[in-house]
Amino acid sequence: MSGYRSEELLISVISRLLADCGHIAVGVSSPIPGSAALLTQATSDRPVRVSVIGAETPEFRTDGGVDLFDSAGQGRIDAFFLSGGQIDGEANINLVGIGDYPEMKVRWSGSFGSAHLYFMVPKVILFREEHTTRTMVDKVDFISAPGWSPDNVHRPGGPYGLVTNLCLFMFDRPNRRFRLESLHPGVTLEEVQDNTGFNFEIPEVVPETQAPDQAKLELLRSTVAQKIADPYPKFAERVWGVKAAA
């Protein structure tokens, strides 16, 4: 048995994708991306700002909901996280539901800010733990936000990587497809192929995802665990047994 939890592996994978970011914003219900942003902050040799939507702690706060989108529009946010009930091979994401719109078989919440942030934030990291043919599909049933845009559409941002509980894909923007970057420890290529509904590029050699080293694990279990307990108390307690400061 490895000396880290699956959440800690995912946090460390995402954190490496954020290496050059000065301002990382985290949306609602995103404890693993939030922890990754904080790990980046704790390991960077430059100041890193982390904004967490809905957090009470002053250091995580922006100037409100409108400000989040306005500042993304200005280019003040370097990285953001999106997910999807469905994600397809062109990195289109669907947060609306399954079936024919509008009377869908399954209706989810809605698209939130995705149709703006996916365009405006340079590095959008897609994160979805469940990696099955149900979530990783050939074509999404509804495009909440497209993975790519024609050349004439103003789009400084877009998909950068896709992290799941099986692997890391990087998005090849010119070719509009995912490339398998690494397999998480113990996961085989066949397992990823069997559970993915879209075609993706497979390099000749696919490395194993780098596990978090001891120094990172110590940071995660102290600094990061304490800080993430404000916006995500249940997560901090479940993963690290840390309670939020009163």
Partner 1 sequence: MTNQIVLPDVEALAARVADGAKVAVFKDGAVPMDLGRALVRKGVRGLHVVTVPTSGLLADMLIGAGCVATIETSGVTMSEFGQAPCFGRAVKSSSLKIMDATCPAVYTGLQAAEKGVPFIPMRGLIGSDILANRPDFKTIDNPYDADGGDDPIVAIPAIRPDVSLIHAPLADAFGNVWIGRQAELKIMAHASAESLITCERLYEGNLLEDPHLAPAVIPSMYVGGIAVAERGGWPLGLTGEYDDDPDAILAYIQAAATPEGFQDWLAEHVFGSGAADARVPAQAAE
Distance CA(31)–CA(205), nearest Å, equals 32
Candidates 44, 49, 104, 197; binder of partner 1 (CB under 8 A) is 104
Taking CB under 8 A as the rule, does residue 74 contact partner 1? no
Q: How far is the CB of 59 from partner 1 (least distance, A)?
A: 15
| CB atoms inside a 10 Å sphere around CB 122 | 16
Bridge partners, 52 (sequence order): 26
Report 176-205 residues binding partner 1 (CB under 8 A). none
Distance CA(173)–CA(27), nearest Å, equals 24
Nearer to partner 1, 114 or 196 (CB): 114
Residue of 35, 24, 29 whose CA lies nearest to 217: 35
Report 11-50 residues binding partner 1 (CB under 8 A). 28-29
Q: How far is the CB of 193 from partner 1 (least distance, A)?
A: 28
Residue of 98, 117, 114 whose CA lies nearest to 106: 98
Report 202-231 residues binding partner 1 (CB under 8 A). none
Residues 175/115, Cβ–Cβ less than 8 Å: no
Bridge partners, 82 (sequence order): 126
Residue bearing tokens 């497209």: 146
Report 114-173 residues binding partner 1 (CB under 8 A). 114-120, 142-146, 149-150, 152-154
Candidates 134, 176, 234, 238; binder of partner 1 (CB under 8 A) is 234
Gyration radius (Cα) of the chain, Å: 18
Q: How far is the CB of 152 from partner 1 (least distance, A)?
A: 5
Q: How far is the CB of 155 from partner 1 (least distance, A)?
A: 8
| CB atoms inside a 10 Å sphere around CB 141 | 18
Bridging pattern class, strands 106-107 and 23-26: unpaired
Structure tokens at 6: 């699956």
Structure tokens at 139: 């074509």
Question: Which range touches partner 1 (CB under 8 A), out of 38-46, 58-66, 162-170, 210-218?
Answer: 58-66
Candidates 59, 63, 100, 218; binder of partner 1 (CB under 8 A) is 63
Nearer to partner 1, 16 or 23 (CB): 23
Number of chain residues interacting with partner 1 (CB under 8 A)? 43
Structure tokens at 160: 């950068």
Candidates 109, 174, 190, 214; binder of partner 1 (CB under 8 A) is 109
* Residues of this chain that bind partner 1 (CB under 8 A): 28-29, 63-66, 69, 73, 95-97, 101-120, 142-146, 149-150, 152-154, 234, 246
